[in-house]
Amino acid sequence: MIETTTYLPIGPYRQRSGYGRTLLNEGTESMERKRLLVFIVSYMAARHIEWVIDRIPRDLGDEFDVEVAVFDDASSDRTSEVAIRAFDKSDLPYACRVLTNPRNQGYGGNQKLGYQYAVTGGFDVVVMVHGDGQYPPEEIRSIANCALQHGAAFGSRFATDGGAIAGGMPKYKFLGNRTLTRVQNGLLGTELTEFHSGFRAYTTVALRAIPFSLNSDDFHFDTEIFIQLTRAGFDIGEIDIPTHYGDEECRVNGLEYARNVVSQSLRSKLHDFGLFYERKYDMQSRDGLYESKIDFMSPAYIALSKIPPKSTVLDLGSSDGHLARGLLEKGCRVIGVDLEMPGDERSFSKFIQYNLDDGLPEIDEDIDVVVMLDVIEHLRSPENFAEELGEFCRTHKVLRLHVSSGNVAFAAQRLMLLLGQFNYGPRGILDMTHTRLFTGRTLRRLFSQSGFGVAGIKGVPAPFPLAIGDGPKARWLLRLNQAAISVLPGVFSFQFFVDLDSPADLDQLLHQSHIHAGVTTEKDQRPLSVVIDRASARS
């Protein structure tokens, strides 16, 4: 994939694999020296590449084991040849390489190759420098150390007021950069001073944790990798860098770039809402997706308010016990059932690790209330499960059930379908683990056809506090959503919460009807039917 132009490394060069800290003997250095890759991304940079190489600090080797690698993206201006000559003339005491792509990979594609080189080569941190000299090689040490502290680091030309304009940044670029940065900070919940600097450093720990190979080959690769890093839980550090604009040629279409970076930021947010799925942004484990929802209007909040104190509760699909902890405060006894063990079992009186696709576990006590919140849609056969649940409720004298599920006819899903989108994702109504989709009507029908009595059904708003953070805006949106539900529950309910009565025991009802007839025999105490002789009655 990469054609290597041979070049003899200058100075000592040691190949090591792996990363991390190694404690040494007392009196020596406290940690292993880090391996640093200075990655010079280049395209048509013959006029500037020697100048960039000459500016690389010679004392980086005091702290790091260093390699400098120029990745020439199939330039037609002899960038590779000029870089080789520059390395040959320089006094850089590092391993130096020039690699030439046989075909143009694009700005993002060239970065993918450089980062893959860093990961497979056993480096600890990689600093990207542009071959046209727009960003300062003099700050390599600072940005590398910043990345090692955070996971990644960007050089910002806006950290100092007035610095960008003083450095020659055109006013239209200044305004565009500031506007896009503000928009992206708002969408992504970040506080960077600049999103669009090309002076960047990443640890290979961070690079291994994200699927950067799925990103665009275009210029908005930088936005996509930032989104991935934040989604994977890495901090982004910033350092102040000077602004330089010379005679380098800008190859970015500003309007197209702006559209792409805003689009990717929106797609990331829609991915969080479960309205749009992007494989490259799916870096969350299934653990941790079921956060506590008992502090705002949600199925768990409603169930907690309805379950009487001191009840014995069977919580099917109990997750980490968010609801159980609230019930514990009401003096309830909670039996939890889930496929995975909870992190803390203390909220449960008893916990049973069990796959509900196999039916219901054996329980040797009576149950007052069964709770099954956002579970039925995960099962292979909800109909068979509902039948078995009905028999369980009759046997264990269950008084009431509380069930919830997502509403596939929610307004946002209708809109996405109108736009030709039906996207499964890691959470929400179209959670990838869902096997069935319900509306309020079909959810009610599922249980009524298994003999349950539907005592009530309630529309539930979208979980805005989880999506955008629990604050005044989220609470206002909850109230707005609830108002819309009161008008059109089938359209504006994100979920439905159903109160169910246990299926009737027909034998018991028949026995009661005989008793009410008022006739029994002393011989077997069995009730007798009241027989009417219709012929006699007519006479």
pLDDT at position 539 is 43
Is residue 400 helix, strand or coil? strand
The answer to whether 7 and 96 are in contact (CB under 8 A) is yes
Where in the sequence of the chain do the CATH 3.40.50.150 domains occur? Answer: 299-501
CA 154 to chain centre: 23
Compute the average pLDDT of residues 97-121: 94
| pLDDT tens-place string over residues 457-479 | 999 999 888 877 778 988 999 99
Compute the average pLDDT of residues 109-136: 94
Fold of the 299-501 domain: Rossmann fold (3.40.50)
> What does the block give as tokens for 293?
């929802």
- DSSP single-letter state for residue 303: H
Inter-axis angle of helices 221-231 and 171-188, nearest 10: 30
Where in the sequence of the chain do the CATH 3.90.550.10 domains occur? Answer: 3-281
Residues of the chain with pLDDT > 70, as a percent, come to 82
Is residue 148 helix, strand or coil? helix
Is CATH 3.90.550.10 what the domain over 3-281 is classified as, yes or no?
A: yes
Cα gap 105→74, rounded to integer Å: 8
Q: For 34, how many CA atoms within 13 A lie in the half-sphere containing its CB?
A: 22
| pLDDT tens-place string over residues 317-356 | 998 888 999 999 999 999 999 998 887 788 899 999 999 9
**Residue linked to tokens 């040494």:** 24
| pLDDT tens-place string over residues 186-211 | 888 888 888 888 999 999 999 999 99
Res 26 pLDDT > 70:
no
Is residue 139 helix, strand or coil? helix
Cα gap 232→154, rounded to integer Å: 17
**Residue linked to tokens 């009161």:** 486
pTM: 0.65
Which range among 70-79, 196-205, 269-278 shows the weakest confidence by mean pLDDT?
A: 269-278
